[in-house]
Amino acid sequence: SLTHWVSVQRAQYKRMKSGFICRLTQEQIQRLEDEGFDWKDTWDTRLEELRAYKKEFGNCSVPKDYKEVPELGKFVQEQQLQYKAVHEG
């Protein structure tokens, strides 16, 4: 699927940035960048949005229906659920 392919490209790029061998060539990286490919995944993007929210409001208590960035409230809720699942079983 396209989602899987994008994830693989991002993982390979991260490997390259960390100094490891990756399957992506510089030409492939440049071609993707020329098309506007975003190397950050959604999680990283949401984390940046959460940092901006915290800077503005002083907390990470994003409402589920936060109108400025609707996906952010859902993201925070998902992270809280995952945390509880891991730490509370």
Other C-beta atoms closer than 10 Å to the C-beta of 46 total: 20
Residue 73 has pLDDT above 80, yes or no: yes
* Per-residue pLDDT reduced to its tens digit, 7-48: 899 989 989 999 999 999 999 999 999 999 988 888 888 999
Would you state the structure tokens that stand for residue 89, as one six-digit string?
Answer: 């079983």
Distances (CA, A) of 67 to 5, 16, 27, 40: 31, 37, 40, 23
Residue 70 has pLDDT above 80, yes or no: yes
Query: Residue 9's pLDDT is what?
Result: 93
Query: Residue 23's pLDDT is what?
Result: 92
Mean pLDDT of 53-82: 93
Between CA 10 and CA 3 the distance in angstroms is 11
Q: Quick one: 43 exposed, middle or buried, by C-beta within 10 A (0-12, 13-18, 19+)? A: exposed
Residue 49 has pLDDT above 90, yes or no: yes
Between CA 45 and CA 38 the distance in angstroms is 10
